[in-house]
Structure 1
Amino acid sequence: MGIKSKFKAFFLLDEEDYQLVEETETDDVEKEKNPKSSKKNIVSLQSVQKSSKVILSEPRVFAEAQEIADQLKNRRAVIVNLQRIQHDQAKRVIDFLSGTVYAIGGEIQQLGQKIVLCTPDNVEVDGSITQFIKEDDIDNTGWS
């Protein structure tokens, strides 16, 4: 009788039980070597908490557009009120923010007269706001 058989006889292990123990040990070793496979369904709660913030911004000069873009880069939605900025500056702000939103894979939508919503890719906007603009109001909006 060899040492292996004496060991099995001492612990009352059959050949099948011994192979099962070996397979379990190799599976544990593989899981330790590849931790990514066991963490596929883990979601970071920090990203969920950061996405729940909405920033309200009312720029008065074009230079403030960069601050709005920084908020978008930090994955925060921004509502921009362009009613207190000159018409040509407002167009430049919209152009700048459109490029920023495109670069981060987000979305930009008009909410009202000179009010837009800029969202990063982690914020989903559902629905739309329709505007009924009379022909005499088109000249007063400053968007045409």
Structure 2
Amino acid sequence: MVKTLHPRNYNDVYYIGDYFRRGNAVLMNLTSLANDEARRVVDFAAGLVLGRGGDIDRIDTKVFLLRPSGVDRGDG
């Protein structure tokens, strides 16, 4: 399952972490955030992914896919 999230502010990183720790891939769409706040969310996500042994992929400008360990991209 891929959970798509559109954080409104940095406080929404709680939901990113919660879904990711449950083993779900998370698609973060940060397009509604200012650049500095989006950077903070990406920094959080990068630390989360590194600490949990997953991967992070940039899909588009301000759109990122977080994949827990064992979940591949599925692009063949």
**TM-score per shorter chain, which class?**
over 0.9
Q: Deviations over 1:41-85 (max 9, x none)?
A: xxxxxxxxxxxx110000010000121011110000000101001
Partner of 1:59: 7
C-alpha contact 1:109 1:118 (8 A) present in aligned 2 = yes
Q: Which of residues 81, 104, 115 is equivalent to 2:52?
A: 104
Aligned length: 75
* Residues 118-133 of structure 1: pairs in structure 2 closer than 5 A: 118-125=66-73
TM-score, length-scaled by structure 2: 0.93
Q: C-alpha displacement at 1:105, in angstroms? A: 0.4
1:92 aligned to 2:40?
yes
Deviation at 1:97, TM superposition (A): 0.5
Deviation at 1:122, TM superposition (A): 2.1
The CA distance in 2 between the partners of 1:89 and 1:95, in whole Å, is 10
Which structure 1 residue ranges, 4+ long, deviate > 6 Å from structure 2? none
Cα distance in 1 between the residues matched to 2:68 and 2:56: 9
Structure 1 Cα separation of the partners of residues 26 and 53 of structure 2: 15
User: Where do 1:1-144 residues align within 5 Å?
Assistant: 53-125=1-73
Structure 2 unaligned residues grouped into runs of 5+: none
SS of residue paired to 1:75: coil
Q: Letter of the aligned partner of 2:36 in structure 1?
A: D
Greater RCO, 1 or 2 (C-alpha within 8 Å, sep 6+): 2
Which protein is bigger by CA-based radius of gyration? 1
Cα distance in structure 1, aligned partners of 2:4 and 2:55: 16
Deviations 1:17-53 (A, max 9, x none): xxxxxxxxxxxxxxxxxxxxxxxxxxxxxxxxxxxx1
Equivalent AA in structure 1 for residue 68 of structure 2: P
State the identity as a percent: 32
> Distance between the aligned counterparts of 2:35 and 2:8, measured in 1?
11
